[in-house]
Amino acid sequence: MDERGPYATLPRGRHHLSRDAVRTSQRGRMLLAMAESVAEKGYAQTSVADVLKRSRVSRETFYQHFSGKQDCFLTVLDRSSLVLERFFEEELSRDEGAWSCFDHALEIYLGTLAAEPTFARVFFLESYAAGPEAQRKRFAVQERFVQSLLDNFADDPAWKRLPDPGFAARMMVGAVSQLVASELVHGRDRELPTLREPVMRLLRGLVGDGADPARSAASG
């Protein structure tokens, strides 16, 4: 592997990095090694030895940071979740109309997952294999997406006419997650951005003409 790659070790001999900087470097390399190994081999087939080999750290160093394989993976999942949550919330806080804002957020969201298939696989697929705690973390993130969606459409008349906006938001987030997972399972991560148009078309159709100002104007 290229010494300048993502697992490049610290310079040999004397260096001017602090102890904290060294630990941060080691931790980051181990988390990336765990994510990539799990994305390639699956959680069940990934071992601590795989992480050590990829990250080029000692077993002793690994156990200074993590209690074991699951602890390391759950930390990867936390990092992935934080990135996804922060991104989605930032995109939905844009000063645009609710539908334009969600359309744009979905476009960027799917494009980001397509560009980062390793972390997409970790979050959407392998979290199921890592036990109940990992699954709870994933579904907690989905619930926060649901709340972000509800906040985005809180003042939209067409959305408020739905019998149960909360259930509609939960159904939409769950459906998008399942669609993403299906594309990843079949190795179609580059196709993820193509989900945006049919998702938006279906969502507008379910909510009604009031969700699309252009259609409303035309029908009037």
- In this structure, are 177 and 83 located in the same domain? yes
CA distance 45 to 75: 18
- In this structure, are 75 and 178 located in the same domain? yes
CA distance 118 to 37: 9
- In this structure, are 106 and 33 located in the same domain? no
- In this structure, are 82 and 188 located in the same domain? yes
CA distance 203 to 38: 34
Residue 2 falls inside a structural domain: no
How many domains would you assign to the chain? 2
Q: What was the pLDDT predicted at 112?
A: 87
Question: Mind listing the pLDDT tens digit for each residue in 9-19?
Answer: 444 444 556 67
Confidence class of residue 215 from pLDDT cuts 50, 70 and 90?
A: very low
Question: Mind listing the pLDDT tens digit for each residue in 37-56?
Answer: 999 999 999 999 999 999 98
Q: What are phi and psi of 188, to 5 degrees?
A: -110, 40
Question: Mind listing the pLDDT tens digit for each residue in 124-173?
Answer: 888 888 889 988 988 888 898 899 889 989 889 989 899 999 999 999 99
Last residue in a domain, options 68, 89, 107: 68
Which has more confidence, 46 or 88?
46
CATH number, domain with residue 57:
1.10.10.60
Residue 3 falls inside a structural domain: no
CATH number, domain with residue 105:
1.10.357.10
For residue 177 the two structure tokens come to 């997650």
Q: What was the pLDDT predicted at 63?
A: 95
Q: What is the pTM of this model?
A: 0.77
Q: Residue 43's domain spans which residues? A: 19-68
- In this structure, are 185 and 209 located in the same domain? yes
For residue 93 the two structure tokens come to 């806080």
Residue 182 falls inside a structural domain: yes
Question: Mind listing the pLDDT tens digit for each residue in 113-127?
Answer: 898 888 888 888 888
